[in-house]
Chains A and B, each alone.
Chain A
Amino acid sequence: MTKHDIVIIGAGPAGLAAAVAAYEAGVKDILLLERDCEAGGILNQCIHNGFGLHRFGEELSGPEYAGKYIDMLKSTDVKLQLGTTVLNIENKIVSAVSEANGFEQFEAKAIILAMGCRERNRGPISVPGDRGKGVFTAGAAQRYLNIEGYLVGKKIVILGSGDIGLIMARRMTLEGAKVLAVSEIMPFTNGLSRNVAQCLEDFDIPLYLSHTVTKVIGKDSLEGIEISKVDENMKPIKGTEKYFECDTLLLSVGLVPENELTRQAGIDLDLRTRGASVGEDMQTSEEGVFACGNVLHVHDLVDYVSAESERAGRSAAKYVLGTAAAEKDGLNVNVGLNLGYTVPQRINRVNVEKGVDIFFRVRKKIRVGEIRVESNGEKIASFKREFLAPAEMEKITVPKVLLDKANGSITVSAIDLEEEAK
């Protein structure tokens, strides 16, 4: 068993940023474990641009964005171990296996969980129909296309309007496939507006809102897809069926934080985010174990993953160096009206210098809204926001002076001002 100050699990954007930040904060003995044969995570297959506008002030492709962090990492003494899969974490001991080193155990003072997320697939949404080949998650098709160099199909229907699906609609079109339809069960798209414009509208790809796949047809291989309009309860309406002859159905129906290691380690999970429940320092319910990036909650932009992970890296460094403040003045953050979740789920006020960032998603579209922070029924802060949508992660920064007015817990809500006016 070897010992390290910090062991980071996953060298995608989250793990890379956390490693660099922890190193810069003064911890030199860091081990970064990655199961793939190179660092960068999912960015490596995201060859489109649009990354880095916030973090680097320029538009980069996924591999370029990852490259910037890999370069930063190279200027440190962080030990990056590739091809290594972590099997479990128990009492700060990380068990892992690799072809190069076989079975290994690492004892860590602090651990940063940065395992990312996976795509939701056909199972949880129970798309009915045949068993035949031809149903892929958008990310799997993206990997086949951008890394392996193969097209999974030539006539495509996409279910779900998540960003990967939209990006793949454009990408498959550019490679000569015909994207016949994008079907979204909600009355609004699930991806960023810029992706809807640049990936669908620019290529005249029809978007069917309030539509879902009601039948997959093709016994051995996919032959066609039937979609139907859904009512307000998201139940398909008989008689609205549309049939598309196609060889591929791509699913872009959401991402799920990959927390199997977290769960096995007995760390508290938030049922809303499906990630660990953390404080403002990204520390989980287990002391010295931190989490950041998509393993914590699914982000829209990698830039925000980096920012959050740098925060986790600095906190882990503080913990190792013994400069972290003990939990005092803890506040729970409750999810109020129209909110899907918040991160962090608790705030240790002694750690807050000027203010604390609270990230959240709303559960419905709100044109004119107010984000209200209350404690014991009293409003302590309020933020005006326009065009809130579930597809876009939002942030408020609550100043310390206002936070000090709270007692025990705070509740964050999104008020639809237009609805309230009615």
Chain B
Amino acid sequence: MYDVTIIGGGVCGAAVAMYLSKYDLKCCLLEKENDIAMSTTRANSGIVHAGYDPEPDTLMARLNVRGCELIEEICEQLNIPYKKCGSMVISFDSKDEAHLEELYERGIANGVRGMELINKEELLKREPNLANDVTGALYASSAAIVNPWRLCIGMAETAAKNGVEFYLDSEVTEIEKINGAFKVTAGGKTYETRFIINAAGLYADKIAALAGAQDFEIFASKGQYFLLDKTSSWLVNSVIFQCPTEKGKGVLISPTADGNIIVGPNAESNNERDDVSTTREGLDFVAQEAAKTSKLVDYRENIRSFSGLRANSDKKDFIIGESALCRHFINVAGIKSPGLSSSPAIGEYVIEILEDCGLIMTEKAEWSYPEAHICFAELSNEEKAEICKRNPKYGNIICRCNVVTEGEILDALDSSYIKPRTLDGIKRRTGTGMGRCQGGFCGVRVHEILCKYYGIDATEVLWDKNGSNIVAGKVGESND
């Protein structure tokens, strides 16, 4: 019998798992895909918002501001790409300026520190590549950028190291209530548990329905992006937002924690929950909106266009708490923006909720973060020389665009608690194939490493989700 079972291995599920791992409890996490960080977590802007956007006295306001603090700490502990680059909400007219003042006031109410209203001259001094018709900005120094899937993986790894069990390829298909506990069927196995944390993202309403506890609905809202090569990194220094509208925070231009530039997203409501396609219209819209912010975006430098899905709900705020319809069933649902920014604070908050529900929480005497993995590209020449002596595999560069070594890939395989099994799994942990050639050169070499490590045939290696086998067959096999 588990004390707590988390459904969903996105950034919220991982955060809950990490905080739960600090206590003497038997916990597990069930994820339907073959890896964690597979949906909303892996396709978003990667922004840690300062916290001036949400209405005061909402969960979103409180958890965003707290999350913003926690992420910095976690990223430092786990060597996750993170940069406190600050954000700008820019204005183009007096209406926008009034809006900036409103945001500033809201930020004060939410406890955001380090905000500043700046004029055009100051804005263009700090961000010289913006359009010339800007009139000023709200600057927030606490806003940051983070690699979102690395944050998720880092927190999940911490949880796994400290005893939380992770089950992949485990889609929850049934939730039964027996004697004050639950029997969860997932991936053909059953898990008995006293508490359920529903962190199923885009499918949280479906999971709630399985427990007879559906009192909200999730709507997938698609956002499309361009990701530009690192050669475009001169474009902006901080996250540049336009004034938010009722539709969302609008199209932003921002550096990413990995050194690229991201441009997007648009917002397409009522999208299918599994449709992450890009469209010409959507991308054209993003480019058109971004042109208001800067005329200097060069789309020939685009290395990848992608879409992500927001898990919006029919409620204004996050839906976090014990379900009114089902005892010991705790929703972490409708986690729209600023969800990533709030994620560790959500984890922390769920602990409080569980305590209120009567779960006895005893802190473990021993708890620690896993050892941070080496990032070869970040090392000094002396450190590079030293580490190659220790393990020559760090001298073998596999991904030339991002300078990722065989040593780092083997680390991701050998010393991970949740082992990557696919090409994309390696990419999410090490950054291979994330550069300008998009795996054109390194894909085949990572493929080979996976074959060797798992002792499998080349035809069995997956690119990403189950069924996405990279090669169709051996040369010379009879063809039908």
Interface residues of A (CB under 8 A from B): 35, 83, 85, 87, 95, 97-103, 105, 118-119, 121-124, 126, 128-133, 137, 139-140, 143-145, 147-154, 175-177, 214-216, 219-221, 236, 247-248, 260, 263
Contact = CB atoms under 8 A, between A and B. Distances in A.
Interface of B: 226-227, 231, 274-280, 282-283, 299-307, 381, 384-385, 388-389, 392-397, 400-401, 403, 405-406, 436-441, 443-444, 448, 458-459, 463-476, 479
A149 B475 contact: yes
Contacts of A214: 280
A158 to B, nearest CB: 16
Nearest to B461: A150
A137 B227 contact: no
A296 to B, nearest CB: 18
Given A149-B476, A214-B280, A248-B472, 20 more contacts: A97-B394, A99-B396, A99-B406, A102-B384, A102-B395, A103-B384, A126-B283, A126-B302, A128-B282, A129-B279, A130-B276, A133-B463, A137-B440, A140-B439, A140-B444, A145-B475, A148-B444, A148-B471, A175-B479, A263-B231
Given A118-B437, A175-B475, A99 B400 contact: no
Contact of A150 (B381, B396, B474): B474
A99 B392 contact: yes
Contact of B381 (A103, A122, A221): A103
A83 B300 CA distance: 31
B395 A122 contact: no
Given A100-B395, A129-B278, A124 B303 contact: yes
A126 B299 contact: yes
A151 B479 CA distance: 11
A128 B388 contact: no
B280 A128 contact: yes
A97 B397 contact: yes
20 contacts: A85-B397, A99-B392, A99-B406, A118-B436, A119-B440, A123-B303, A123-B436, A128-B282, A129-B277, A131-B307, A140-B441, A144-B471, A148-B471, A149-B474, A150-B472, A151-B473, A175-B476, A175-B479, A220-B464, A221-B468
Contacts of B401: 260
Given A85-B400, A122-B304, A150 B471 contact: yes
B396 A83 contact: yes
Contact of B392 (A100, A151, A220): A100
Given A85-B397, A133-B468, A150 B473 contact: yes
Contacts of A221: 467-469
Query: Which secondary structure characterizes the binding site on chain A?
Result: mixed
Given A97-B384, A121-B438, A140-B444, A151 B303 contact: no
Contacts of B277: 128-131, 215-216
Contacts of B392: 99-100, 102
A142 B476 CA distance: 15
B443 A140 contact: yes
Contacts of A122: 304-305, 438
Across the A-B interface, the 7 shortest Cβ-Cβ residue pairs: A102-B388, A176-B479, A150-B471, A133-B463, A133-B468, A103-B385, A85-B397
A120 B439 CA distance: 12
Contacts, number: 153
A153 B472 contact: yes
B440 A133 contact: no
Contacts of A132: 468
A386 to B, nearest CB: 32
A126 B479 CA distance: 33
A99 B390 CA distance: 11
B471 A151 contact: yes
B299 to A, nearest CB: 7
Nearest to A147: B444
A148 B469 CA distance: 15
B400 A35 contact: yes
Contacts of B305: 122-123, 126, 128
Nearest to B463: A133
Contacts of A175: 475-476, 479
B479 A99 contact: no
Contacts of B304: 122-123
A220 B438 CA distance: 18
A36 to B, nearest CB: 10
Nearest to B230: A260
Contacts of A215: 277
A139 B400 CA distance: 16
Nearest to A274: B300
A204 to B, nearest CB: 18
Nearest to B407: A99
Contact of A102 (B226, B389, B471, B475): B389
Contact of A154 (B278, B464, B479): B479
Contacts of B436: 118, 123
Contacts of B458: 148, 150
B34 to A, nearest CB: 11
Contacts of A143: 444
Nearest to B281: A128
A44 to B, nearest CB: 13
A149 B477 CA distance: 10
Nearest to A259: B231
Given A124-B303, A220-B467, A119 B276 contact: no
Contact of A87 (B283, B403, B463, B469): B403
A144 B473 CA distance: 10
B473 to A, nearest CB: 5
A129 B306 CA distance: 9
B317 to A, nearest CB: 31
A77 B368 CA distance: 55
A406 to B, nearest CB: 33
A145 B465 CA distance: 23
Nearest to A154: B472
B222 to A, nearest CB: 12
Nearest to B385: A103
A103 B437 contact: no
A175 B471 CA distance: 14
A130 to B, nearest CB: 5
B393 A99 contact: yes
Contacts of A140: 439-441, 443-444
B395 A97 contact: yes
Contacts of A124: 299-303
A219 B208 CA distance: 26
A87 B376 CA distance: 11
Nearest to A83: B396
A219 B471 contact: no
B298 to A, nearest CB: 10
Contacts of A133: 463-464, 468-470
Contacts of A87: 384, 403
Contacts of B406: 99
B470 to A, nearest CB: 7
B143 to A, nearest CB: 27
Contacts of B276: 130-131, 219
A119 B439 CA distance: 11
A221 to B, nearest CB: 5
Contacts of B231: 263
Nearest to B437: A118
B472 A128 contact: no
Contacts of B388: 97, 102-103
A220 B396 contact: no
B440 A139 contact: yes
A152 B470 contact: yes
Determine which residue in A103, A119, A129, A175 has the highest number of CB atoms from chain B within 10 A of its CB, and name it.
A103
A99 B438 CA distance: 24
Contacts of B226: 126
A130 B396 CA distance: 33
